[in-house]
Amino acid sequence: MRSRFIKKTISIALLLTTLTASVFNTFSITTAYAESTSVSEDSSLSAWPEAPEVSAGNAILIDADTGAILYEKDAYEKCYPASTTKILTGLLTVENCNMNETVTFSREAANSVTWEDANLATKAGEEYSVEESLYGLLLYSANEIAYGLAEHVGGSISTFIDMMNARAKELGAVNTHFSNASGLYSPDHYTTAYDMAMIARGCYNNSTFVNIDSTYETYTIAPTNVTPQSRTIRHRHLMLKGREFYYEYCKGVKTGFTDQSGYTLVTFAEKNDMRLICVLFNCSDSNVRFTDTRTLFDWGFDNFRKVTTSSDTISSYFSDDSYYRSNVYGKYHHNFNLSASTLTIPNNANVSDISLIVDSNYQPTDENGVYTTGIDFKYGSNIVATSLLTFSKGIPASDERLPYLQKSIDENALSAKNCISINIWFIVAAFSGIIIIIYIVNDHRRSQRRNMHARRHMRRRRY
């Protein structure tokens, strides 16, 4: 009897061990900002393509459409951008001006350059159209043009600098501060390769900017009210058609150099359905920045592909026991929208291996009960797409009832709230196991009592 009881106990113990392991695997204390699929960085995902070596001190390669980061090398390290700054000056000009507006250059603008700066010898009182100014800025990198456009767009240099910093933040730059419109060195004028890629992404998505900046032929500025001669200029980017480092997929953008920044380069490239952005900072040689850029573009085009996902597929990235399918979420009927339909993944990757986390670099907003934050689609530890996740309910997003947010000590900051996710079927199984144990224990006790009663009965018969 004791042997049978031990066997039953061992069997039940094994059952409970299995149930406990299962429950533990699904009973997890997480946050709403945790990955919502079961894929972890340690799982057996296909390897990320082996990246080539580049000599630039800081580099990044991203997909302009999805925001996927294909390659990065010290991309979050503080750098001095030099004249690549002018792409933001150009973008703000395009966004705030008509092409036929007249820009009148002040004495301060005309005198803002030295003999060694790139310039068009613009004189005080000289007038260009906004369009002519943009060609002089983006193709020839004229510093006095940057100064004049800043005054024209912002009304003053200081106002324009405020506009630059605000727009950079809107585009996703998180460790950037500009103090001038041209990129002249200042310890207070800095960015990162990642931030510059985010700014460049905004530029690449503006067709007017791209039409001007991708000009590989010469451009002529007609005689002005001050200068009787026309001026013919050509793009300084040497990967455009007819240049020394011609790359057939190159769409332009901007070169730069100062003693403190080294050689810098931001480049757009487009092949088939893929648009890539490459940013290189701290290059020791002018030519190397072009060869490094080509190397990264070729690697990106050869090793990655775009996949389109449906809204159902995107929703499935939130697992069945996630917050958005939980009773807590459903109880308050909060709506959410995740707008992403394309991912950039390695050629041998599967969409089923994608997970979601909140983008720690994105600055969340909370306006009129609509809370928006950035979302990263991840393949292992690599970002393959970015999107915006928006919650709406008509109540403040910081309301304590929300399962995914809580206020921190800083009342203006929102952070993730710990949340417990439980699979009910495993709870049922565990409860059933407990009932079975109770039944077996009671059955064993009844059996012991019957045996004891039988032994007493046998003793009485003997006597």
Beta pairing class for 28-31 and 418-421? antiparallel
**Helix 86-96 and helix 130-138, axial crossing angle in degrees, nearest 10:** 160
**Following DSSP, what letter does each residue of 167-202 receive, concatenated?**
HHHHTT-SS-B--SSS----TT-BB-HHHHHHHHHH
From residue 36, give the alpha-carbon distance in Å to each of 317, 320, 421, 427. 7, 9, 11, 21
From residue 284, give the alpha-carbon distance in Å to each of 17, 69, 256, 345, 379. 61, 24, 12, 32, 33
* Number of residues assigned to the chain: 463
**Following DSSP, what letter does each residue of 46-83 receive, concatenated?**
PPPPPPPP---SEEEEEETTT--EEEEESTTS-B--GG
Contact 335, 392 (CB under 8 A): yes
Q: pLDDT per position in the chain (463 positions), as tens?
A: 545 554 455 455 445 444 444 434 333 323 333 333 333 344 445 689 999 999 999 999 999 999 999 999 999 999 999 999 999 999 999 999 999 999 999 999 999 988 778 899 999 999 999 999 999 999 999 999 999 999 999 999 999 999 999 999 999 999 999 999 999 999 999 999 999 999 999 999 999 999 999 999 999 999 999 999 999 999 999 999 999 999 999 999 999 999 999 999 999 999 999 999 999 999 999 999 999 999 999 999 999 999 887 655 655 555 444 444 444 444 444 555 666 668 899 999 888 788 877 777 777 777 776 777 778 888 888 989 887 777 665 444 444 444 444 444 444 444 445 555 555 666 667 777 788 888 788 877 877 777 776 666 666 655 5
Q: Is 145 helix (H, G, I), strand (E, B) or coil?
A: helix
Quick one: pLDDT at residue 385?
86
Place of tokens 């405020």: 162
Q: Which two tokens stand for residue 110?
A: 């005309």
Quick one: pLDDT at residue 232?
97
Quick one: pLDDT at residue 404?
44
